[in-house]
């Protein structure tokens, strides 16, 4: 214990080491610099490797080639089509999963009886990989949009339910009971207190789980699709267009990142009291 204390106080006096002192918070400028470096360093490495010709450009296209490919897909309108198709599927499936998961999760968190009847089933369903349902979904729903949306729905609903349930368990018992003694009825307690108190955690849960939807939309499009970012990647592979694959991957990453930021913004705007 004295050793760690000594190490901690030593760390505080050393410049670089102080970043690794537990509980220490680097200044805003330092953090900003590190965040920029997080993206810039890999980009520079990639540029260097590509321009030195260390790897065959068929396998590792240069950043310029990827950018050109991105620009030409954007100009032809393909990119826009793909983005609309893929995000539409993600939002469709995820929205359905959320609309169902939030009330179910809240009821499971509040009523032990509902939890007891749902949890074992959900715990098992959760371990059945969503992708393994694709053949069934195609048999049931054909090869249109429905099986893709259903896949995303299946892949996210169980996690949404369980995480909402956990969030709800953190609502202080006193707050619920206070509401009852103020004359609140069950529905008022659930909607106006339990859901409202858990809203920040629920938004955060959605932010984390929508990433799974992004993974699944690509899988869904590999099976049967006309357009979509995942579909384009598959086509690019057929023609050995690694530059296009890279471009689509970057677009996937950027949209995912934007959605993440969107949820963070939503949290900040709707739950000022919690941030």
For another protein, which residue of 192, 253, 257, 258 counts as binding (CB under 8 A)?
A: 192
Contact 255, 271 (CB under 8 A): no
Q: Is residue 26 close enough to count as binding another protein by CB under 8 A?
A: no
Q: Is residue 229 close enough to count as binding another protein by CB under 8 A?
A: no
Q: Is residue 268 close enough to count as binding another protein by CB under 8 A?
A: no
Nearer to another protein, 6 or 175 (CB): 175
For another protein, which residue of 48, 177, 208, 258 counts as binding (CB under 8 A)?
A: 177
Which of 102, 235, 217 lies closest to 166, judged by CA? 102
Q: Is residue 183 close enough to count as binding another protein by CB under 8 A?
A: yes
Q: Is residue 234 close enough to count as binding another protein by CB under 8 A?
A: no
For another protein, which residue of 17, 99, 117, 182 counts as binding (CB under 8 A)?
A: 182
Q: DSSP assignment of 19-81, as one string?
A: GGSTT----HHHHHHHHHHHHHHHHHHHHHHHHTT-S-TTTS--HHHHHHHHHHHHHHTHHHH
Q: Point out which span in 33-41, 89-97, 189-197, 240-248 binds another protein (CB under 8 A).
A: 189-197
Q: Is residue 124 close enough to count as binding another protein by CB under 8 A?
A: no
Q: Is residue 179 close enough to count as binding another protein by CB under 8 A?
A: yes
The DSSP code for 240 is T
- CA separation for the pair 265, 255 (Å, rounded): 15
Number of neighbours of residue 247 by Cβ within 10 angstroms? 27
Site string for another protein, 196-215 (x = CB under 8 A): xx------------------
Contact 83, 258 (CB under 8 A): no
Q: Is residue 275 close enough to count as binding another protein by CB under 8 A?
A: no
What sign does the dihedral 111-112-113-115 (CA atoms) show? positive
Give me the residues that bind another protein (CB under 8 A), please: 172, 174-175, 177-185, 188, 192-193, 196-197, 271, 273-274
């Amino acid at each position: 214990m004295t050793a760690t204390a000594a190490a901690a106080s030593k760390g505080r006096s050393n410049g670089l080491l102080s970043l690794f002192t537990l509980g220490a918070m680097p200044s805003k400028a330092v953090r900003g610099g590190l965040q920029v470096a997080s993206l810039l360093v890999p980009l520079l490495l990639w540029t260097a490797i590509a321009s030195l010709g260390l790897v065959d450009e068929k396998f590792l296209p240069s950043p310029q080639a990827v950018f050109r490919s991105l620009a030409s897909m954007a100009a032809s309108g393909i990119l826009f089509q793909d983005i609309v198709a893929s995000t539409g599927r993600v939002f469709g499936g995820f929205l359905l999963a959320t609309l169902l998961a939030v009330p179910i999760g809240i009821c499971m968190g509040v009523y032990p009886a509902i939890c007891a009847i749902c949890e074992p089933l959900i715990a098992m369903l959760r371990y059945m990989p969503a992708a393994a349902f694709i053949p069934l979904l195609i048999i049931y729903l054909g090869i249109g949009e429905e099986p893709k949306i259903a896949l995303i729905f299946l892949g996210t609903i169980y996690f949404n339910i369980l995480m909402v349930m956990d969030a709800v368990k953190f609502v202080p018992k006193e707050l619920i009971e206070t509401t009852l003694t103020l004359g609140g009825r069950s529905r008022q307690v659930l909607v106006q207190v339990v859901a409202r108190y858990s809203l920040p955690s629920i938004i955060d849960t959605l932010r984390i789980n929508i990433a799974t939807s992004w993974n699944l939309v690509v899988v869904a499009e590999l099976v049967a699709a006309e357009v979509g970012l995942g579909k384009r990647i598959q086509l690019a592979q057929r023609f050995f267009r690694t530059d296009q694959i890279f471009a689509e991957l970057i677009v996937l990453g950027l949209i995912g990142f934007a959605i993440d930021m969107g949820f963070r913004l939503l949290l900040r705007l709707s739950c000022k009291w919690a941030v």
